[in-house]
Amino acid sequence: MNEIGTPSQTRPRAERVQALHEDDLQALCEATDAAILDGGGFGWLTTPGRQAMERYFRGVLMVPERMLFVVRLDGIIVGAAQLVRPPRNNEAQAMSATLMHLYVAPYARGLGLGRLLLLEAEQCARAMGYQILNLDVRETQESAIRLFRAFGFHHWGTHPSYARTEGRTVRGLFFTKRLQDNERVVPAHPQAASIPIPATGPASVTGHSLTLYPAIDLKDGACVRLRRGEMDDATIYSDNPGAQARAWVQAGCRWLHVVDLNGAFAGRSANGDAVEAIIANATVPVQLGGGLRDMAGIERWLAAGVTRVILGSVAVKDPELVRAACRAFPGRIVAGIDARSGQVATEGWAETSDMKAVELARRMEDVGVAAIIFTEISRDGMLTGIDIAQTVEMANALSIPVIASGGVGHADHLHALRAATVQAPGIEGVIVGRALYDGRVDPAEALRILS
Ligand code: AMZ
């Protein structure tokens, strides 16, 4: 039962799916067939038959650039949408994603389910750092067009010969929406004035929204937090990683950041069961690092449902492996750069190299990683605030997004990071661990500050 006393399965829900069980696949085909017969929402004008449609959806799940979203009513899939990322070679449009094929079966219309789908896909695009969401739609899809307008999509053009349906040519409307709105003003905060804001930002702080990545660090199967990465200074917060993943999703988080700590020290995945439990329980994308040192390990976890893998030690020791992984899995490889006073550390942070963090970040950008996660080790788990100066320096040295990590202990630290995005638009998100587990930072407040 949920808080309003109805069985939770009756509450409509939109989510991203990365695998489809037989029942779900059949319900999805049923909904798609019904939408096609009703005359819209999909490219097919007549249904291609069940087998072709099953193959189609199985194929969609295998395309790295496509993300499939479904909406459920009483637990049964009744509609879908797809979010399409730009191909890797399209650097010029790397900031734009496209929404396609949003439809709800006729038997489930009028309940606001299209809205739920759109919200979910849009939030996911925002969480992945996209700045623009594009879509196009036949002019005959009037209710969909009303929905897009209501969501703030801007109609910028009309294609006169967009599609052929029922023997006639229909026009197509092209819409676009900015997802990261730089014009928003950070709400005034009593202590904001005492936070050092780098460089010359305006007095009324502006900045863009940031993704909150709650950290689930795994040691011996449990969710822990370390201080400065020391394994013998661990606080255990939960022995149920799946439940922990659900808790962060229920709190409104749109991504999970997962680290296999034993794996980072051992050089190979060591908390596989816990990671699988997280993937099974997470209805949002998961990024995973710790112990991924070869292509087999990278492939294994991407195939298992992890959206992005984080490579740390191999970024220093085997950049060619990172390059090959980026080629094989465009958009899905992230470099984790962990530094002590600017010098990169590896192997669970037990070793310090003589490479500078910014230098490594540039090399990683060059080999093709989708983003950099930058951790200042001396801050990690210490609750004393993010090393904003280093994060800004790194973000401004690169053209790929930078996710800040290490040191958040108070809502003020999130305000400060957001303020810093004025100087460094490349900062995309922030990883928060201990402060969320200790209740020093409330997830709802954190999401509000960062949104
Ligand atoms: O806390 C630590 N000692 C630690 C940690 N959190 N050591 C490594 N890591 C994380 C990195 C990165 O996400 O921040 O593990 C990942 C890197 O692992 P690897 O095995 O690729 O170096």
Residue written as token pair 């979910």:
120
Task: Please give the single-letter amino acid code of residue 296.
Answer: A
What global pTM score does this model have? 0.63
State the distance from the centre of ligand 1 to the C-alpha of 298, rounded, in angstroms.
15
Residue nearest (by alpha carbon) to ligand 1 atom 8: 348
Instruction: Say if ligand 1 is within 6 A of residue 269 CB.
Output: no
Known catalytic membership, residue 273: no
Identify any residues that bridge with 371 across adjacent strands, giving them in sequence order. Answer: 334
The amino acid at 394? M
Q: How many other CB atoms are found less than 10 A from the CB of residue 340? A: 17
pLDDT band at 423 (very low <50, low <70, confident <90, very high): confident
* Beta carbon of 20 within 6 Å of any ligand 1 atom: no
Q: Is the pLDDT of residue 326 over 80?
A: yes
Q: Is the CB of 333 under 6 A from ligand 1?
A: no
Ligand 1 pocket member 264 (CB < 6 A): yes
Q: 189 C-alpha vs ligand 1 centroid, how far in Å?
A: 33
Q: Over 70: is that where the pLDDT of 2 sits?
A: no
What pLDDT score was predicted for residue 232? 92
285 or 18, higher pLDDT: 285
The SS3 call for residue 392 is helix
Q: Measured between alpha carbons, how far is 165 from 385 in angstroms, rounded to an integer?
A: 58
Average pLDDT value for residue range 180-194: 31
Average pLDDT for 37-61: 90
CATH 3.40.630.30 in the chain: give the residue spans: 13-178
Q: Name the token pair of 84.
A: 């399409």
| Residue 91 phi, psi dihedral angles, 5° rounding | -60, -35
Q: Among 33, 136, 260, 338, which one carries the catalytic annotation?
A: 338
Q: What is the 3-state secondary structure (H, E, C) of 299-346?
A: HHHHHCCCCEEEECHHHHHCHHHHHHHHHHCCCCEEEEEEEECCEEEE
Pocket lining: 338 vs ligand 1, CB cutoff 6 Å: yes
Please tell me the distance between residue 380's alpha carbon and the centre of ligand 1 in angstroms: 11
pLDDT at 8 over 50: no
> In the chain, what percentage of residues exceed pLDDT 90?
71
The question of whether 24 is a catalytic residue gets the answer no
CB of 12 closer than 6 angstroms to any ligand 1 atom: no
Q: Where in the chain is the domain with CATH 3.20.20.70?
A: 211-450
Say how many Å lie between the CA of residue 432 and the centre of ligand 1. Answer: 15
227 strand-pairing partners:
230
Q: What is the distance in A from the centroid of ligand 1 to the CA of 440? A: 24
- For 423, list phi and psi in degrees, rounded to 5: -80, -25
Give the whole-angstrom CA distance, residue 175 versus residue 146: 12
Return the residue whose CA atom lies nearest to atom 15 of ligand 1: 290
- Residues with Cβ within 8 Å of 350's Cβ and at least 6 positions away in sequence, in order, are 265
Q: Given 3.40.720.10, 3.30.450.20, 3.20.20.70, 3.10.20.30, which CATH number is that of 211-450? A: 3.20.20.70
User: What angle separates helix 388-397 from helix 357-367, to the nearest 10 degrees?
Assistant: 40
| 39-43, 186-190, 422-426: least confident range | 186-190
- Tell me the CATH number of domain 13-178, given options 3.40.630.30, 3.30.9.10, 3.20.20.410, 3.40.720.10: 3.40.630.30
Helix (H) or strand (E) holding 113: helix 113-127
Whether 139 has a pLDDT exceeding 60, the answer reads yes
Q: Residue 423 and residue 112: Cα distance in Å, rounded?
A: 39
- Who contacts 153 (Cβ-Cβ below 8 Å, separation ≥6)? 133, 135, 175, 176, 177
Two structure tokens written together for 201: 């930002």
Residue 59: exposed, middle, or buried by beta-carbon count in 10 A (0-12, 13-18, 19+)? exposed
**Half-sphere exposure of 445 toward its Cβ, with a 13 Å CA cutoff?**
13
Q: Is 297 in the pocket of ligand 1 (CB under 6 A)?
A: no
Q: Measure the CA–CA gap between 255 and 249, rounded to whole angstroms.
A: 8
Of 21-25, 145-149, 204-208, 288-292, the poorest mean pLDDT is in 204-208
If you search the block for the tokens 């969710």, which residue do you land on?
A: 223
DSSP β-bridge partners for residue 215: 257
